[in-house]
Amino acid sequence: MQTPLQARILDQLRQLLSEVLETGDRINEAEISDRLGVSRTPVRRALQQLQAEGAVEYEQNRGFRLADITLLLKSSDAEQEMLLDERVMRDMALGELRAVISERALMQKYAVANGVLMSTLRRLMRDHLVEPSPGRGWIFADVGPEALANGYRFRQIIEPAAILSDEYQPDAAALRAIDADHAHAIANIESMDRRRLFDLDARFHRLVAQGANTADLVDAIDRQNNIRRVAEYLAFVRPERLRQSMIEHRGVIAALLAGERQAAAALMRIHLRISKDETFAHMDEDLDRVRGGGRLTGAE
């Protein structure tokens, strides 16, 4: 199954090729990459998908050409659902989905079938980001900058405290496994999909919280991870910060494995403060770029 990033690039490529080319025209991968703001690797993957659909053809030593323009804008329900997930999360982060919104209004806003819309709403319900209102409307969670800032303050209190709680017992085997995942991510930060990197980040914070053996605490971390997941649709990827964040995680893991909980708690507190400062240092810039029609960029 495609990631939301891959689905978005495929959708952008369909639209771009249909606007600038005619059937039979050659496709310049380098130019397309520049227009979409990504490297050639995800563009090549998207072109291969279009080749499988019959929309483009590949000729040895000559590259791709547009074979049938009428096939470009035909996409599957799964692709539509992933694209809708991204659009809804983007609008939530921008504060454009507030109060109670009816299903009819949502279908009109996003121009999708009811089945596609309901698939997205069910996923958001699972993550406690939307709930049905009495009647036929939907209530979306507040995931804007203020909610994100509140979440960071909350986490700065509870995550270090969890590590220092009585009878805290981390899962050493799980910590070693996730440390290996971090090492791989650091070595491949430029080529990893941003969603995979976020999932690794979320798993780390959840695993650390699980050591306190308190279900309510884990639920709170899950809730904060879901809010941050939506906010990720606003942030433009900064690979060096992602790499440094993973290194900070490994410092916490090493301290926990060594039984140095005071050090681990201090490192977690520093990590959360740096992450908060970095997020809000660029928040206004990122909001302006997205509102102005800018595209999110990210790892492949």
Buried b (16+ CB within 10 A) or exposed e, 77-96: eebbbbbbbbbbbbbbbeee
Lowest mean pLDDT among 149-153, 161-165, 191-195: 191-195
Q: Between 239-257 and 261-281, two packed helices, what is the crossing angle to 10 degrees?
A: 170
- Residue 223 near residue 239 (C-beta atoms within 8 A): no
pLDDT at 269 over 60: yes
Query: How is residue 99 annotated by DSSP?
Result: S
* H-run or E-run covering 33: helix 29-36
Q: What is the pLDDT of residue 2?
A: 54
- 4-71, CATH topology level: Arc Repressor Mutant, subunit A (1.10.10)
Same CATH topology for 77-140 and 145-291: the answer is no
Q: Environment class of residue 234 by beta-carbon count within 10 Å: exposed (0-12), middle (13-18) or buried (19+)? A: buried
Task: Please compute the mean of the pLDDT values over residues 123-137 and round it to a whole number.
Answer: 85
More confident residue, 208 or 22: 208
Q: Which residues pair with 66 in a beta bridge?
A: 56
Has residue 85 got a pLDDT over 60? Answer: yes
Better-predicted residue by pLDDT, 262 or 75: 262
H/E element holding 17?
Answer: helix 4-20
CATH class of 77-140: mainly alpha
Q: Are 239 and 299 in contact (CB under 8 A)?
A: yes
Taking phi over 0 as left and psi of -120 to 50 as alpha, with beta for the rest, 20 belongs to: alpha
Which one, of 5, 4, 199, lies nearest residue 85 by Cα? 4
Query: What pLDDT does residue 214 have?
Result: 94
CA-based nearest residue to 175, from 167, 157, 163: 163
pLDDT of residue 133 exceeding 70, the answer is: yes
pTM above 0.85, yes or no: no
* Matching residue, tokens 């291969």: 48
Q: What integer pLDDT is reported at residue 159 of this predicted model?
A: 97
User: What CATH code would you report for 145-291?
Assistant: 1.20.120.530
Would you list the domain boundaries of the chain?
4-71, 77-140, 145-291
pLDDT bin (cut points 50, 70, 90) of residue 211 is very high
